[in-house]
C-alpha cells in the first residue's frame, strides 16, 4: 500500500511540475530550456516523492546543464536500466531506440551511469578523456529501485567537452 501511495504522489507531483514547466518555458527554444543545475539538486527536490516507491517517472524532464567528470568507462545499458527505459518510452519507440549505452560520470563524490544517445557516444569517446570535466545536457526521466538502492535515471542528449577549438 505504501508503494502505491508513493507512486500516486509521484505522479501527482510530476503532473504539477509539468504544468508549471509548460507555462514557464513556453517561449524558450529547445536549448534555452536547459538550465545550469546539479543532479544532486534534482535528487534532493524529489527524495521525499520517491519514498519507498519501486519506480517513479516524471512528466517534467528537468532539462539541465550539469558539469561532471568523465570516469573513462562506458558499457551497454544494464538490464534494469534498459527495462526502465522500455517502461518510460513505451509509446515512443523511436526515442527508446536512441539509448543502447551508458557512460560513467562523477558529480562531486557521487557517480552516475548515464544513458547516452548512441550517435553521441563516438564523439564523447573521442573528445572527452578520463578525468576530464565536461558539461552534459541531461534530462531526468525518474528512477527505479534496484537491488540495493534507488537508481536515478538521467539521460545525455548533448554535451560540451569544454575544449577550445584550435
Alpha-carbon gap, residue 103 to 152, rounded angstroms: 14
Question: What's the total number of domains in the chain?
Answer: 1
| pLDDT tens-digit series, residues 84-108 | 999 888 877 788 999 999 999 999 9
Q: Is residue 103 in some structural domain?
A: yes
| pLDDT tens-digit series, residues 18-28 | 333 333 444 45
Q: Is residue 165 in some structural domain?
A: no
For residue 4, is pLDDT > 50?
A: no
Q: Is residue 98 in some structural domain?
A: yes
Q: Is residue 109 in some structural domain?
A: yes
pLDDT bin (cut points 50, 70, 90) of residue 149 is confident
**Which residues of the chain form beta strands (DSSP E)?**
35-36, 55-57, 64-76, 99-107, 110-117, 133-145, 150-160
Alpha-carbon gap, residue 82 to 8, rounded angstroms: 23
pTM score, two decimals?
0.79
For 134, the domain range is 2-160
Q: Is residue 29 in some structural domain?
A: yes
Phi, psi of 108 (to 5 degrees): 65, -125
For residue 65, is pLDDT > 70?
A: yes
Q: Is residue 166 in some structural domain?
A: no
Q: Is residue 91 in some structural domain?
A: yes
CATH number at residue 115: 2.40.50
**Grid cell locating 60:** 517534467
- What pLDDT is recorded for position 10? 40
Amino acid at each position: 500500500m505504501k508503494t502505491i501511495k508513493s507512486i500516486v504522489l509521484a505522479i501527482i507531483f510530476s503532473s504539477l511540475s509539468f504544468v508549471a514547466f509548460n507555462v514557464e518555458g513556453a517561449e524558450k527554444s529547445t536549448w534555452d530550456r536547459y538550465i545550469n543545475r546539479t543532479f544532486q539538486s534534482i535528487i534532493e527536490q524529489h527524495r521525499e516523492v520517491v519514498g519507498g516507491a519501486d519506480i517513479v517517472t516524471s512528466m517534467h524532464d528537468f532539462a539541465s546543464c550539469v558539469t561532471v567528470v568523465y570516469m573513462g568507462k562506458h558499457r551497454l545499458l544494464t538490464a534494469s536500466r534498459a527495462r526502465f527505459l522500455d517502461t518510460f518510452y513505451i509509446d515512443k519507440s523511436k526515442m527508446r531506440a536512441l539509448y543502447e549505452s551508458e557512460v560513467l560520470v562523477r558529480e562531486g563524490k557521487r557517480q552516475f551511469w548515464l544513458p547516452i544517445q548512441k550517435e553521441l557516444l563516438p564523439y564523447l569517446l573521442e573528445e572527452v578523456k578520463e578525468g576530464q570535466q565536461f558539461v552534459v545536457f541531461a534530462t531526468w526521466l525518474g528512477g527505479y529501485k534496484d537491488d540495493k538502492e534507488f537508481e536515478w535515471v538521467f539521460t545525455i542528449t548533448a554535451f560540451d567537452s569544454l575544449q577550445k577549438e584550435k
